[in-house]
């Protein structure tokens, strides 16, 4: 409910999103560390929100049964933080990189459940098989950079979720070692490579770019912010020339929201 309420506020106000989104510049330069968590309560649109909340709904019951409500919350928020920290590491020199969404936390809950209960059925597949396929797709997504999904945060959240779950239930490491090994080993190797050897994998990130003309969601988002600044400059110029009373109600609201930043 909290995530839905916060996301709805973000749908209504772009300035609200800018205040709480994951932003490399704001986190590294201004040390606004709260964004590592607050960004997980924001979403781009209703579809993004509903998809993530369905993931939480499907796994809350099972995971809470396995580790308890407190354990579930610990996994959820640790995964959210872990996913964003991976993104911060990968894009640390790309100051305009921004993102929102609870996907890292949701993936943490999913993979924590798989680590503790590999036989669980997910989309008609055994949990271990779903996890393996999902990791393969996610690794391909990071490598290809052909969509607008934060696959790196998904990987980080998934791994943190599994590690926290194992810490809470150490017996799972003995009982389900094969599932955990099959999922974590290729993921950790890949995460190591995308940080230290991206040129080997031809990764499109801040270290190496093979698709110079790919117009990603980040480019669109940054273009939107630029256009917004242009609009504010136009409004201020209008005030300077004609006075405050010349503004429309929409222009006044936009100026009011901008002044809160």
Taking only the tens place, the pLDDT of each residue in 113-125 is: 999 998 888 878 8
Neighbours of 83 (CB within 10 A): 34
Burial state string for 127-162 with b = 16 or more CB within 10 A and e = fewer than 16: bbbbbbebbeebbebbbebeeebbbbbbbbbbbbbb
Q: Which of 81-90, 217-226, 245-254 has the highest mean pLDDT?
A: 81-90
* Residue 153 binned pLDDT confidence (cut-offs 50, 70, 90): confident
Q: How far apart are CA 244 and CA 214, in angstroms?
A: 42
Q: How far apart are CA 192 and CA 209, in angstroms?
A: 18
Q: Which range, of 87-101, 174-188, 215-229, averages the lowest pLDDT?
A: 215-229
* Residue 41 binned pLDDT confidence (cut-offs 50, 70, 90): very high
pLDDT > 70 fraction of the chain, expressed in percent and rounded: 82
Higher per-residue pLDDT: 41 or 147:
41
- pLDDT, residue 219, reads 47
Nearest by Cα to 110 from 40, 49, 63: 63
- pLDDT, residue 95, reads 80
Q: Which range, of 85-99, 121-135, 161-175, 209-223, averages the lowest pLDDT?
A: 209-223
- pLDDT, residue 109, reads 93
Domain ranges in the chain are 48-214, 220-259
CA atoms within 13 A on the CB side of 212: 0
């Amino acid at each position: 409910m909290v995530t839905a309420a916060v996301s709805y506020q973000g749908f209504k106000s772009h300035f609200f999103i800018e205040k709480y989104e994951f932003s490399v510049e704001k986190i590294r330069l201004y040390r606004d560390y709260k964004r590592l968590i607050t960004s997980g309560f924001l979403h781009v649109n209703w579809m993004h929100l509903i998809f993530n909340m369905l993931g939480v709904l499907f796994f809350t019951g099972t995971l809470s049964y396995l580790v308890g409500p407190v354990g579930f919350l610990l996994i959820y928020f640790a995964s959210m933080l872990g996913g964003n920290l991976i993104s911060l590491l990968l894009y640390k020199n790309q100051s305009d990189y921004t993102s929102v969404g609870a996907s890292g936390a949701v993936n943490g809950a999913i993979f924590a459940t798989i680590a503790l209960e590999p036989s669980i059925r997910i989309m008609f597949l055994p949990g271990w098989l779903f996890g393996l396929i999902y990791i393969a797709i996610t690794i391909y997504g990071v490598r290809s950079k052909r969509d607008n999904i934060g696959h790196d945060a998904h990987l980080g959240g998934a791994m943190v979720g599994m590690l926290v779950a194992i810490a809470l239930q150490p017996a799972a490491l003995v009982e389900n070692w094969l599932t955990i090994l099959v999922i974590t080993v290729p993921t950790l190797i890949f995460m190591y490579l995308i940080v230290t050897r991206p040129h080997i994998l031809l990764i499109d990130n801040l270290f190496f770019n093979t698709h110079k003309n790919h117009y990603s969601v980040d480019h669109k988002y940054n273009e939107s912010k630029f256009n917004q600044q242009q609009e504010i400059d136009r409004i201020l110029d209008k005030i300077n020339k004609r006075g405050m009373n010349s503004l429309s109600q929409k222009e006044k609201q936009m100026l009011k929201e901008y002044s809160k930043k």
